[in-house]
Homo-oligomer: A and B are copies of this chain.
Amino acid sequence: FSVASAPEVWLAAVAQHTSTIRIGHGVRLLPFHYNHPIRAAEMAATLDIMSRGRLDFGTGRSASALELEGFGIDPSLTRAQWDEALRMIPKMWTQDEFSWDSPTFKMPPRNVLPKPVQKPHPPIWMSGTQPESAVLAGERGIGFMHFSLSDPFGMDAKVRSYRDALARAEPVGEFIHEQFAAFTILFCGRDDADAAARGGAGATWYANLVELVYASLGTLSADESYAWYRERIAREAYRERDLGELVERRSVIVGGPRRCIESIEWYESQGVDMMLFLVQAGNIRPDDIVDSLRRFGREVVPHFAGRR
C-alpha cells in the first residue's frame, strides 16, 4: 500500500519480474468518476492476464478529501457507487453479454473483454476502518482489509461481526471469499533498538499522517456514512503519537524478530487471517527496507509456517 495514481500500470510491470507472489489493488476506487466500472473491469482482467492469474481485486470508495475534491466527487454518493460497481464488475467478468439499467448507471448489452484468467474471477476485497464497513464486506461475501494501522483497538469485534455477516451473505461475486486481513507498518530490525533507529521515524511519520487524512474525512460531508469519523475526531482529537505509543497500541510493528512474532500473534489472537504490511514508510532507506524484508523472511515467517 502506498500512493500510486495508476497502480494497474505499475503492477503489470511488477508481474513481469515475479512469478508466484500475488499482486493486488489496495484499493481500486470504484466511485464512477475515478474509474468507470467498465474500465475498472477491463483493467483488472487485463492485469490478471498479464500476471497469469495472480490478481487480488481490492476495492474502496475513497480515502481523502484531497482526492474526492480533486475529482469533484460528492462524498455522499461514494458508498452507493462503490456498491453498484461492485455488483456489476463480477458480472462483466463472467457474462458474455452484460447489460445494466439502474437510475444511476445504464449500459446496453455488450461483451466486456478481456475476461480474467482466474475462474470464475479474481478474489474481491473491500478496504475499510469503520466497524460498519466490516459488516458491509461480510454481507457481500468479499474479503475485508482492515486499516489496523489507524485503529487496531476493537479488531476482534470487527472480525466477529464480519464473520456473522458472512453467514447471511448474498455474495456479489460467484463465490464467498472469507478473509479478514489487517494492514499495518512493518520494520524488522536486528533488535528493537536497531528497528527504532532505522524504521522508527518513517513509521511514526506515516502513522500520524494517516490521522490527518482521517480528520479530513470527518469534516468532508454531513452524510451519515462519515459519522463515525466525526465521532472519532470528537473523541480523540488529533495529537501526534510517538513510536513507543504506536508500538504499544499495535498501530505499527517496528522491532526485532521477537517483537514482530509477538505482535503478529496478537493479531492472530484477534481473529485475523492475513497480514498486509507497508514496508516503505516515509524516509526509511531502500537498503534498510531490503534488510528488514530479508530478516523477516528468515527469522519471522518460519515461525508461522504451516499455520495457514
Contacts and interface: CB of A to CB of B under 8 A. Distances in A.
Contact of A70 (B34, B38, B43, B66): B38
Interface string A31-75: 001111011001101110010000000000000001001111000
A50 to B, nearest CB: 5
B36 A6 contact: no
A160 to B, nearest CB: 38
B107 A70 contact: yes
Interface string A266-280: 000000000000000
A33 to B, nearest CB: 6
Nearest to A15: B13
Contact of A16 (B5, B13, B35, B42): B13
Residue of A5, A8, A35 ringed by the most chain B CB atoms within 10 A = A5
A22 interface: no
A62 B66 CA distance: 31
A201 B246 CA distance: 67
A12 interface: yes
B13 A108 contact: no
Contacts of A6: 8, 39, 42-43, 45-47
Interface in A223-268: none
B5 A46 contact: yes
A31 to B, nearest CB: 11
A307 interface: no
B106 A38 contact: no
A285 interface: no
A298 interface: no
Nearest to A40: B6
B50 A9 contact: yes
A72 B38 CA distance: 11
Contacts of A284: none
A304 interface: no
A153 B3 CA distance: 49
Nearest to A105: B72
A308 interface: no
A116 to B, nearest CB: 12
A69 B106 CA distance: 10
Contacts of A47: 6, 9
A159 B16 CA distance: 40
A114 interface: yes
A106 B47 CA distance: 31
A113 interface: yes
A72 B106 contact: yes
A192 to B, nearest CB: 35
Contacts of A119: none
Interface of A: 3-6, 8-10, 12-13, 15-17, 33-36, 38-39, 42-43, 45-47, 50, 66, 69-72, 106-108, 110, 112-114
